[in-house]
Structure formats: C-alpha cells, structure tokens
Amino acid sequence: MSHSSLMLVAFTAVILTACDRPPRETESPEPMEAEVMEDAGAMTPDPYLWLEDVLGEKALEWVRAENDRTLGVLASDPRFEMVENRALGIYNATDKIVYAERSGDEMHNFWRDETNVRGVWRKTSVEAYASGSPLWETVLDVDALAEAEGRNWVYKGRDCLMSAGRCMVRLSDGGTDSVVLREFDVSNRRFVEGGFESPNAKQWVNWLDADTLMIATGFGPDTINTSGYPRQVRLWDRGTPLADARLIFEGPETDAFEFPLVSHRDDGTHALVLQGPDFFTQTLRLLNTDGTLTVLPLPRDVSLQGFMGDHLIASLRSDWMPGDSNFPAGSVVSVLLQDLVAGTPEASLKNVYAPDAVSSVESVTVSRDRIYIALLSNVTGKLLAASSTDTGWALTEITMPENGSLNVRASDDTANDVFVSFESYLQPESLYRVMEDGEVLLVQALPERFDADGFVTEQKFAVSTDRTKIPYFLVRAKDLEFDGQRPTLLYAYGGFEQSSTPGYTFPIGNSPNMTSWLEAGGTLVVANIRGGGEFGPKWHQAALKENRQVAFDDMIAVAEDLVETGLTNPRRLGAMGRSNGGLLMGAMLTQRPELFNAIVIGVPLLDMLRYHKLLAGASWIAEYGNPDLPEEAGFISDWSPYQKMGEKGAYPEVLFYSSTRDDRVHPGHGRKMAARMRELGHSFLYYENIEGGHAGSSDLKQRAFMDSLQIVYLMQKLMD
C-alpha cells in the first residue's frame, strides 16, 4: 500500500519575573442580543455565539485584544527570549534525525530549518541514507514556491505513483486541513502544466493508474457531510474536468468520511473505497475492473493495515469469531482477499499476532514478505517481525533498545529491511536499520540537547475511582527531595486510541519541548489514562461516550497521587493538554480547580453540546456521544466544561491557546470559555495564532514562539 494510503488509514484511529502581577483586563465581551442555540430539544441561551464567527470583525477584535494582553504578561518576561531561543535552536538544528519515506531505491524527506522555514522536499538513495551522511537533491522548495506565487503555502504531504514519476502535492494556505491538490512531475521537478489539479477543499486522493485518480472531494454543498468532509468518491480521468469525474460511491451525510485507498505492490494492485461511519468503524468496498464495488465481510470495527500479495492484513478492535474460530480484540490477522469476496473468511483467516494483558499494537508495517509489529508492553516499545509459514505466521522479536518508544519510520514493499527509531524521555532519538536477517545497524543518533545525567525516569501507578491502576511516567532530578514543593507539569491526552509514549523532552505531538522546563528545576509527568490506546482497544473503549468521566477520574487520580506521595502540592502543580487533551484540561478546570495552579488548554474542545455543529466535530460522535439525542446530551452535560463553568467558587488563571486557521477544532471553543470566565469574574490568559491550523503553528519560528508562551506561563505560575 502506498505510504499516503497508510496515513489515511491511520487517520481513522483520525486526528502552551512577573508571576504574581495581575493581568491587564480588557472590557468584558458584551453578550450580543440573547442568541439561542438548540440542543436536544431544549432552548439554551448562549450569549457568546458571536465568537464562533471565526473571521468576524467583532470576534477578531476580541482576539487581538486578548493576544496583546497575554503577550504583555508572558512575552515581556525576561525568560521568554531565552526559552524561545533555546526552542528555536533545537528546531533549527542541522543535526536532527532525518526521517524519510522509502520508495524503491530512493528515500524522500521533507526538511525544515532556519533557512528553509516552510521546508524543502528532497531525495537521496537508500544506501546513502543508511550511511548516515547522505547527499540530498532538492525536489521541491516550498519557501521558493510560496514567494514566487505570493501564497502562504504550508506543505501537507503528497500522494504518489512513483512508477509513473508523478505525485499529487497537498498545499495548505496557512496550515488548514483544507488543501489544494496539484500534479507534480518528480523527474523534472515541476508542476505539470495542464495536469490534475483540484481546488482548495478537505479532500483525499490516490492514483489508480498513471492517467486515473480516485478522489474524494467536494462537488457542491450536497456532497459534503455534517463533519465537513466529502461524501463522494469518484474516478477522475486525465484530461477531463473534475466535475465530470465518474461517481463510484456516495455515503450518507451522517458519515464521518469516505476516501479512496489503493495498494500498488509488485505482487498485486488493490483499490478500495473506505466508508467510515465514525472514527472506529469502517466498511471496505473492493473496486472491481468494471467500476462496481464489492463489500468485504469484515467486522465493522476492523482497521485495514495493508496487503501482501492477495492477503489482506488488518487489526481488530473487538473479538472476531467467524465459523468456529475466535480472534481476540487487539489481534493482527491475515485473510485471503478471494475468501473475503466469497464470503468465507474463515477458510484462510490466520492470526499474525495476539496481545497479552499488558501489550497493545501501536503500528503494523507490511514490507515485501514480512509484517513488522511495533508493540507497547507496559507502555514501552517492542518490535516483532512476522514471517509466513506453511501453517500460519512465525513471530521473531527484534533486539532493540529498551524502556522507550519504537517507531517504524520507513519501509517499502520491494524489500524486507526497515528503518526504526528509538527514544525515551532522557535518551535522544536514534535511527536504526533493521536488516532482513534481523541485524540492527545504527544509522544516526541525535546529540543530547541538555544534560540528562542529573535526571531519572520512573514509571509509577495511581489508583482510579474504580480501583484500576493508571500508569504514569515521572521525569525528575535524581536528588529531588519529596518535600511536596516540586514545580510539576502533568500531561495527558486520553482519547481516540492514541497512546502517550516516551519521547525525548517532548510529552507528545505538538506539545512544547520541555528542555527549558527541566533545566529550570521542573518535573514532568505523563499520565497514560484510559481513552488512549496504551493497553489496546479496551483501554480506549473504557472511556467512550457515557463513560467519558472515567478518563477525567484517571487524570484526577494521578494528580492526587503526585500530591499524596510528597512530590508536589496544588500550588506547584500544573496540567497541560491539547485538542482532546484540551477537553481533558477543561474538565480539570471545572471539576477540580483546587488541584492545580496552572492549566494550559490548547486548541481545545470545550462546548460539548455544540461540538458536533462546528467544523469536523460531527466525526467524533463515536468518541463523545451525540448531543442531539436527549439521553446522550444528558451525560455530556454532566461534564461539558463550557456548561459546567461557574459551578466552583475559584479557578486558577489558565492559559488558552488556539488558532484562527484551525479548521478541525473550532477556535470558538476556547474563545467562548474565556469570555464566560471573564463574565464570572475569573482571570485567564488567551492567545490565538492567526495561522497554524490544528497544530497551532505553521513554521518552526511560530512553534518556538508558542512553546515559549506555554513554558513561561508555567514558570510564572509554578516556580515563581
């Protein structure tokens, strides 16, 4: 399967010296005429709906005033420039691990540094890459493109048919999820004049052959679902208008998404349409040569991982019991495609891997005739290689460094060697080449970014309200005194099957680099609460919908454990989360404000009675519930932060950050919550980046700036 297709499959799993100085207040937003929203049949006044007008003049005036006030508090701190320069130096370092995608005998990399702020797509040979000191050839310079075209282009990846030397390049204006698609000639390194081009939209594309694309995009208002994603998948022939592309599938407007998947391998090509009613269920339809589709009889909550010849490889979210067989949830299985088409999967269904009680599958990579499975075992990484035998699959564990995170970074269906990275909280990233015979060769090791000799990482456990043990990692100074006074940052995510795994000075994803925090005497805690994927599908499913409070209770249990064990106290304890983790932070603010003196609430979901009406929100109903159903609106109301705000007497001064250009999680969530806090007389800081999309930043300079806002805020609140 093409790399881009695998990324789309992964999408379905798709998805911060003046501490005591009082902040300058701005005029409280005047509730405009009592606007009203309708939720689950009840009429509820919401005076801040006007802040959902993303580019509205009044809303942006409010945003700019809050930005100025927040910068006056944080950017004027004498530590700000130091933290920003430190972060920017790390992000712009030329000795970073160079991760790349493999395509046959070539490695393709997207690189950003101080010179290439927007980035450059470049390539080299596999052997040169494996040497650790490759010479790179530029394929596309996005900085030069943006300057030449006068556009704020942010590179969002590419979908390629390398046998034809063509790619569809995804370009976003300012960092949104919406992209322009443009055909690119890799050999001649230029966009194809008169080639395939699709205007700005949330869209997905795969090559069926050199002259045909499978595309899911908008063809008018009736072709967009309630999540803002395309409902239709079409076949688009070269030389024909996009509007004339042949419709092969249309899903209902309530689906989360529909998109095309094409696996091009030397041992076979398979094209499918994936229909996703929600993030955790899917129906796969095989595209036949006559343009018709055949539904494959797989469990609805299966996750397609790829193909090997005529074998379909998938992972299971629930038990599958075809015939007399039983394949447990969390397993990786293989089945012949022809048996699926015939409706008899049990004829060839085999277990590639079945998890134990403390393990879960993080990723599945299909090479030429090996399947590499990256596992979490008690939230640390292991790597298995599966080979086909006459009776099934044989598993071999690859000897890799321990007590950290492992990620398969590059593979190709023409070879069995793969490139794998390792890192931990205190050990820099290293890149290895795992050879076909199991030999592990070091390719590149990241130099240390700070002196970690004085620190130690421990895994501890808190006990939640239902007596479940919740693991968390503690990164602390070796000589730390448990006197209850340590400035401590607690991070968690807890949703969408996503695991929070050890990363060098990073909690996860786009959260800030924590080097400055640790060097200043801070302590870092990362909690593996339910809702994530740390212990497989059941760990995630335990916190869905009406059980969402479970994730919040787990977070509270870890926070209380940090206090009870003498590490810190509420005056020195802060919490941080973004996106779904921003919802988690909103729950901490409204449920246990006395536990924290600082909370960073990043690109958050907060108004959970309206989230499904804003941008991509409707695609997350399987995670949170449907506010339009009275019985589900009831349990959502029990914990929705926007509705719960004001029930406690005192709140810490929190930091909200968001992005005007975020077209996934609506910035109105954070705006409205902040406005509600001011109405009730509570202090807060709010900063909204005008660019950056859901990541919150569109280039490395912006990322370092956003890092610094969060770190300095935490220093002011927890250290000063």
pLDDT at 30 over 90: no
Structure tokens, 392: 């099934």
Q: Is 579 a catalytic residue?
A: yes
* pLDDT at residue 53 in the model: 95
* pLDDT at residue 508 in the model: 61
pLDDT per residue over 475-513, tens digit each? 999 999 999 999 999 999 999 999 999 988 765 656 788
pLDDT at 29 over 70: no
Query: Strands 246-250 and 418-423, how do they pair?
Result: unpaired
560-577 burial string, b = 16+ CB within 10 Å, else e?
A: bbbbeeebbbbebbbbbb
Closest CA to 583 of 524, 623, 523, 537: 623
Three-class secondary structure of residue 235 per DSSP: strand
Fold of the domain built from segment(s) 56-90+449-718: Rossmann fold (3.40.50)
Distance of CA 340 to the CA centre of its chain: 31
Radius of gyration from C-alpha coordinates of the chain: 25
pLDDT per residue over 538-584, tens digit each? 999 999 999 999 999 999 999 999 999 999 999 999 999 999 999 99
User: Of 540, 669, 682, 694, which one is the catalytic site residue?
Assistant: 694
Residue type, 716: Q
* pLDDT at residue 37 in the model: 45
pLDDT per residue over 95-138, tens digit each? 888 999 999 999 999 998 888 989 999 999 999 999 999 999 99
Sequence-separated (6 or more) residues with CB below 8 Å from residue 35: 45, 46, 47, 49, 50
Q: How far apart are CA 271 and CA 307, in angstroms?
A: 11
Backbone angles phi, psi at 602, to 5 degrees: -100, 135
* pLDDT at residue 140 in the model: 98
pLDDT per residue over 83-94, tens digit each? 999 999 888 888
pLDDT band at 661 (very low <50, low <70, confident <90, very high): confident
Structure tokens, 208: 């069926």
pLDDT per residue over 151-210, tens digit each? 999 999 999 999 999 999 999 998 888 999 999 999 999 999 999 999 999 999 999 999
pLDDT band at 701 (very low <50, low <70, confident <90, very high): confident
Give the single-character DSSP code of 176.
-
pLDDT at 20 over 60: no
* pLDDT at residue 506 in the model: 67
Backbone angles phi, psi at 22, to 5 degrees: -65, 135
* pLDDT at residue 18 in the model: 32
pLDDT band at 35 (very low <50, low <70, confident <90, very high): very low
* pLDDT at residue 679 in the model: 96
pLDDT at 9 over 80: no
For the stretch 434-442, contacts whose Cβ atoms lie closer than 8 Å and that sit 24 or more positions apart, written own/partner, are: 434/372, 434/383, 434/385, 434/398, 436/370, 438/385, 438/396, 438/398, 438/399, 440/398, 440/399, 440/400, 441/130
Answer yes or no: are the C-beta atoms of 374 and 408 closer than 8 Å: yes
Mean per-residue pLDDT over the chain, rounded = 90
pLDDT per residue over 334-384, tens digit each? 999 999 999 999 999 999 999 998 999 999 999 999 999 999 999 999 999
pLDDT per residue over 464-475, tens digit each? 999 999 999 999
Helices (runs of H) and strands (runs of E) counted in the chain? 15, 39
E strands, 380-506, are 380-388, 393-398, 405-410, 418-423, 430-434, 440-445, 455-463, 469-477, 488-491
Q: For residues 53-71, give the mean pLDDT.
A: 96
pLDDT band at 45 (very low <50, low <70, confident <90, very high): confident
Residue with more model confidence, 705 or 506: 705
Query: Strands 598-602 and 573-578, how do they pair?
Result: parallel
Q: Is 388 a catalytic residue?
A: no
Handedness of CA 504, 505, 507, 512 (dihedral sign): negative
Q: How far apart are CA 71 and CA 67, in angstroms?
A: 6
pLDDT band at 12 (very low <50, low <70, confident <90, very high): very low
Q: How far apart are CA 586 and CA 636, in angstroms?
A: 13
* pLDDT at residue 307 in the model: 97
Domain ranges of the chain: 56-90+449-718, 363-446
* pLDDT at residue 199 in the model: 97
Q: For residues 626-634, give the mean pLDDT.
A: 96
User: Of 331, 367, 464, 579, which one is the catalytic site residue?
Assistant: 579
Lowest-pLDDT choice from 7-11, 88-92, 441-445, 462-466: 7-11
Q: For residues 430-442, give the mean pLDDT.
A: 96
* pLDDT at residue 688 in the model: 96
* pLDDT at residue 11 in the model: 40
pLDDT band at 695 (very low <50, low <70, confident <90, very high): low
Rounded to the nearest 10 degrees, how much is the dihedral formed by the CA atoms of 159, 106, 408, 302?
40
Residues counted in the chain: 720
* pLDDT at residue 476 in the model: 96
Answer yes or no: are the C-beta atoms of 230 and 214 closer than 8 Å: no
DSSP bridge pairs for 368 = none
pLDDT at 36 over 50: no
- The percent of residues above 90 in pLDDT, for the chain, comes to 80
Lowest-pLDDT choice from 33-37, 70-74, 329-333, 444-448: 33-37
Lowest-pLDDT choice from 37-41, 183-187, 269-273, 315-319: 37-41
* pLDDT at residue 324 in the model: 75
- The percent of residues above 70 in pLDDT, for the chain, comes to 92
